[in-house]
Amino acid sequence: MGTCGWDRAGTIVAAMALGATIAVAGGAAADAPLLSRSGGADEGLRQGTGPQPYTLPASGDARRAPEIVAQLGQQDLQKAEAGRREMERAAAAMMEAERAAQQALERAVAARKVFEQAMQREMEKTEAARKELENAIAEREVLKKAAQQEAERIEAARRELEAVAAARKEAEKAAAAKRELDRAEAARRQAGAVAAARKEAEKAAAAKRELDRAEAARREAETAATAARKEVEKAAAARMERERIAALHKDIERFGVVPNSQEVRYLRGLELERRGEMRVAMEMYKEAAESNNRFAQRKLGDIYGTGNAVVERDYQTSLKWYQRAQTDGLDIPNRPFTFPGVRR
């Protein structure tokens, strides 16, 4: 009970004592007004402005003072109980709001933790993909260096063949000069000219046979060098293609990535070409190239640049597919982008 309640109780007790004294003395008339608050005391209590003094009834009504005091005390108790219940409801509502706020905070913390874990996993995947790309670039540099070394070996072989050809020409000149000298010597000597001529002829024939063998060896060496260069280029291209396909399958096994339809068509075309089904392979290459598969576009550029059993050589179409492959981000080294009689 607040200060107002205690002040009111003190006032009531004082009024009861005074009323009893007045009753003993025989106070005023019975119809006089009962104990009441003076000067708007009830309004002051309702507005919470503090306790208000009570005005005692006339002396004739002092006998009813205990009843009035009891009624006022009952009213104060009811109001105090109502205030207590209201405070309990407010406290319960506040606790419920605090629990709801705590639950919302816990949910937010849990959601943030899940988000941070997802971001961490995504960053780990990105880092793994970056490392894979760096490894692929390093492998490509190694292959490029090996191809460069092979080209240098081929160039050295070509220079050696040129040196052999020059030596052969010099040998032919020397042989011709020697034959002229031999014929002059044979004419000058006359006696034994037949035997000398026969001997020189045999030497000349042997020299010619040596020259013919040297020429044949040179041609064979040139053919072998050309074939070796083509085989090296073909092996390098096949190795790169196998490595790209192996990397694709490795990505499928590692990350669960399923190749798209145009990639499947391109791989199917390679398999059909190896089996000799070139017509169906060309259909697979064209479908994959039209779906912007850059490897299929480069493959069509190679095929139309040379022709095969299915299509004839078509420089215009070859140039078109090379340009589309380069536009889609594929590096095409050592490929012409101009052909005889073809405008870009």
Of 40, 66, 89, the residue at which a domain comes to its end is 89
Report yes or no on 114 lying in a domain.
no
User: What angle (nearest 5°) sits at the alpha carbon of residue 258, between those of residues 252 and 259?
Assistant: 100
At 294, which CATH number? 1.25.40
Least confident of 44-48, 80-84, 87-91, 191-195: 44-48
Number of independent structural domains in the chain? 3
pTM (whole model) above 0.75: no
Cα–Cα dist 201/302, whole Å: 54
Mean pLDDT of the chain: 79
For residue 248, pLDDT beyond 80: no
342 in a domain, yes or no? no
Is residue 123 one of the residues assigned to a domain? no
Higher pLDDT, 224 or 278: 278
Domain final position from 207, 231, 250: 250
Structural domain includes residue 97: no
Residue 115 lies in a domain: no
Q: Retrieve residue 49's tokens.
A: 């402005």
Examine the domain organization and report whether 266 and 238 are in the same domain.
Answer: no
End-to-end CA distance of the chain: 102
Are residues 9 and 51 part of one domain? yes
156 in the same domain as 241: yes
Higher pLDDT, 256 or 104: 104
One domain, residues 156 and 240: yes
Let me know: does 55 contact 38? Beta carbons within 8 Å: yes
Domain co-membership, 212 together with 273:
no
Which of residues 301 and 247 earns the better pLDDT score?
301
Looking at the structure, do residues 242 and 273 belong to the same domain, yes or no?
Answer: no
Structural domain range at position 157 = 129-250
* Residue 8 backbone phi and psi in degrees, to 5: -65, -45
List CB contacts of 249: < 8 A, sequence separation 6 or more: none
Based on the fold, state whether residues 85 and 11 are members of the same structural domain: yes
